Amino acid sequence: MTTTLTDYYQPGWREHHHTCPACGWQGNSRQMEMELHDEQSEYACPQCEFPLLVVLHPDLAQVRAAAAAGNAEAVEQLAILASAPSP
């Protein structure tokens, strides 16, 4: 089955161990095939391309909340967003 992660800042998801139900491959997200979309990143089995993990991208409110909570990655992303010209 495909795991959907709604909280991008949840710690440890990149290292979480998955088993592919289609071919039995085992590993974490760093070893999977990643496909980037506007709203989400999709991670698929490197052997059979079965979609194992879908990570929804955080919206601005989530980035701000995580940065306020001290998440280093969110602080960096917020700095990048702040330096971008506003629409």
Cβ 2 to Zn ion, closest distance in Å?
A: 12
Give, to the nearest 10 degrees, the angle between helix 60-68 and helix 72-83: 130
Residues numbered 21-80 forming contacts with Zn ion, rule: CB under 5 A: 22-23, 25, 45, 47-48, 50
Cβ 31 to Zn ion, closest distance in Å?
A: 11
Phi and psi of 83, rounded to 5°? Answer: -85, -10
Q: Which is nearer to Zn ion, 48 or 60 (CB)?
A: 48
Cβ 39 to Zn ion, closest distance in Å?
A: 24
**C-alpha torsion angle, residues 77, 6, 34, 27 (rounded to 10):** 120
Query: Cα separation of 20 and 5, whole Å?
Result: 17
Binding residues for Zn ion (CB under 5 A): 20, 22-23, 25, 45, 47-48, 50
